[in-house]
Structure 1
Amino acid sequence: MKPFAIAGIQMKVSAVASNVEMMKLKIDITMNLYPWVEMIMFSELCAFGPLTHTAQVIPNNFEAEMQAKAKQYGIWLLPGSIFEKSEGKIYNTASVINPAGEIVTRYRKMFPFYPYETGVTPGQDYCVFDVPGVARFGVSICYDMWFPETIRTLTTMGAEVIMHPTLSGTIDRDIELSIVRAMASVNQCYFFDINGLDTGGCGKSIICGPDGRVIYQSEGTEEIIPLELNIERVKRSRELGILRLGQPLKSFREHIKNSQFAIYQPGIATPYLDSLGPLIKPTRLDDLAELKIKETTLEKQNAAINYKRDTII
């Protein structure tokens, strides 16, 4: 099986102006410098930024322009994602375009970053697509990977490479880097995580191999990341084990033949999870906690008053 070359584009993302022309320029530069690249991926919400007022119906002009670029260079293209308007709802949607400029599939982010990504509806369908003669690819977006069931489902569907556009500009980026390594290793797959800059993230894009080791990690500047992947490494890992040791996918397969994970059964009671409270943004002081403090203070004041009264009597 021949190697396959993918370039990730880590670029600045504006929230007040379209980034589409810069994306097109980055594609031109990438294909001029690295004509051997066969797939290009951008970061989450790269085209129009992270504000939901940019939401638009799909298909649209942006998708058409990306289709034209894919066809121009004969490459696979994942132009990040955009906010999509559909039937009164907003989704975070990524398109996959083949070298003929055709839309192969679209993916709606399953786990919006609640309670911060408000107003965005979760998608329901997993997304895999085949590059003929190369491999099966899976698509997830940003916060999706914090839920290991999503990546495990994609690999159970046969995905050997996970394409993962992200928008992460928060102080938990280092945690995400460790999650990428974990997801790559426990699912024995390539994991291609591309972040943006400025309002599009803090950079630190990362690509890991099927043994969880880092192939490349960028810093906080604009960068084109062209890498040639050897898909045979995935097949060898899944056949012989990670570093010829653990075989997590085979072990998972054997377990689910005879036993189910009870927590995933429909209608199962989860009293502990229910006890965690609503999915809301933290405040300086939770209203309930503030009420408890007031009640405790009042109790102490009453106790002091009673003590003084008893002492006087």
Structure 2
Amino acid sequence: MNTQPRRFGIAALQLNLDETDNLELLLQKIQRTKLRYPWVKMVVLSELALRGVGAQHARELPSAEEEAFCRAARELGIWLVPGSMYEKCGSTVFNTTPVINPTGEVIARYRKIYPFLPYEKGVTGGDQFVVFEVPEVGRFGVSICYDMWFPETTRALVWMGADVIIHPTKTDTIDRVDELSIVRASATMNQCYIVDVNSAGAQGVGRSIIVGPEGETIHEASVEEEIITFEVDLEKVTQVRERGMKGLGQPLKSFRDGRVYYPQYEQGAVSPALAELGELKIPE
């Protein structure tokens, strides 16, 4: 039995980014963060930090850029989640987040399940969830930006054992305040940490947020560049899930033990109400 405290240092980099090739800037920021905060074991970047929006930026993976991130992780001895990048797979494009371990190995690639349609044109949704193990610490799940608007995605990661959810996002619109409420609610309902890192500058409006397993805001960033460093406490996740949020609700146990029938998840289920909403397209 592991008797060591399961604390783990993370740095979420809310950077001022342009819609351009940001590779050298990102590598520099990652290195400087580790040098200044040597206790940090994982660095997380925002969605599409590498080049910004545009399926035309898609590359087959592994790419030269992904390999550069792998070298940085290996040289610094850190876990690295370098935001996301557009991945070309044949004629299909995915919005993909690599997970790189401290030896510089890509141990997983998560493809965003819900592209921001109809705006994220030319991008196909993935169909696989990603949860990975940080040895002697805990399990981490990955989701990307718009995925969070579908509570089933967060619940699936927690069902698979995620204690911490890494959530790169790229929001430059007025609904950021609504996203903050979703992050807080999702962390509370699923009794987990959520690391929601947005970009600043031309790519986003900032306001990254780190939320703990009782819905507590550990840090909410400004709209400017911030290097957000903090520790997650995986023992606290276990305690909250076992004893209840603030000693009260134990929703994961109730969900586990429930026998309710959800008609929307039956194979071939059709909702007449949702069918009436019409085509998914940009409003005119």
Q: Among residues 193, 213, 217, which one is paired with 1:210 in the alignment?
A: 213
**1:131 Cα deviation from its structure 2 partner:** 0.1
The SS at the match of 2:103 is: coil
The SS at the match of 2:204 is: coil
Q: Among residues 3, 8, 22, which one is paired with 1:4 in the alignment?
A: 8
The SS at the match of 1:164 is: strand
Q: Among residues 119, 122, 127, which one is paired with 1:124 in the alignment?
A: 127
The SS at the match of 2:97 is: strand
* Count of residues paired in the alignment: 280
**Which of these two proteins has the greater Rg computed from alpha carbons?**
1
Q: Among residues 75, 78, 91, which one is paired with 1:75 in the alignment?
A: 78
Deviations 1:30-64 (A, max 9, x none): 01110110000000000111122111111011110
**Structure 1 runs not aligned, ≥5 long:** 284-313
Q: What does 1:22-171 align with in structure 2 at a 5 Å threshold?
A: 22-171=25-174
Letter in 1 for 2:86: F
Match of 1:248 in 2: 251
1:181 matched to 2:170? The reply is no
Letter in 2 for 1:182: A
Match of 2:17 in 1: 13
In 1, Cα distance between equivalents of 2:63 and 2:226 = 28
Letter in 2 for 1:14: D
Letter in 1 for 2:260: S
In 1, Cα distance between equivalents of 2:260 and 2:238 = 26
Is the Cα–Cα contact under 8 Å of residues 201 and 224 in structure 2 kept in the other structure?
Answer: no
Match of 2:269 in 1: 268
In 2, Cα distance between equivalents of 1:198 and 1:279 = 30
TM-score, normalised relative to structure 2? 0.97
Letter in 2 for 1:260: Y
The root-mean-square deviation of aligned C-alpha atoms, in Å, is 0.8
Structure whose residues are more often helix by fraction: 1
Identity, in percent, stands at 49
1:225 matched to 2:228? The reply is yes
**1:215 Cα deviation from its structure 2 partner:** 0.5
Deviations 1:238-296 (A, max 9, x none): 000100111111111111xx33311110111210000011111101xxxxxxxxxxxxx
In 2, Cα distance between equivalents of 1:35 and 1:262 = 50
The SS at the match of 1:119 is: coil
* Runs of 4+ off more than 4 Å: none
Letter in 2 for 1:270: S
The SS at the match of 2:246 is: helix
In 1, Cα distance between equivalents of 2:61 and 2:93 = 11
Letter in 2 for 1:272: A
The SS at the match of 1:242 is: coil
Letter in 1 for 2:15: M
**1:177 Cα deviation from its structure 2 partner:** 0.2
**1:79 Cα deviation from its structure 2 partner:** 0.3
Letter in 2 for 1:144: D
The SS at the match of 1:145 is: helix
**Structure 2 runs not aligned, ≥5 long:** none
TM-score, normalised relative to structure 1? 0.88
In 2, Cα distance between equivalents of 1:61 and 1:22 = 15
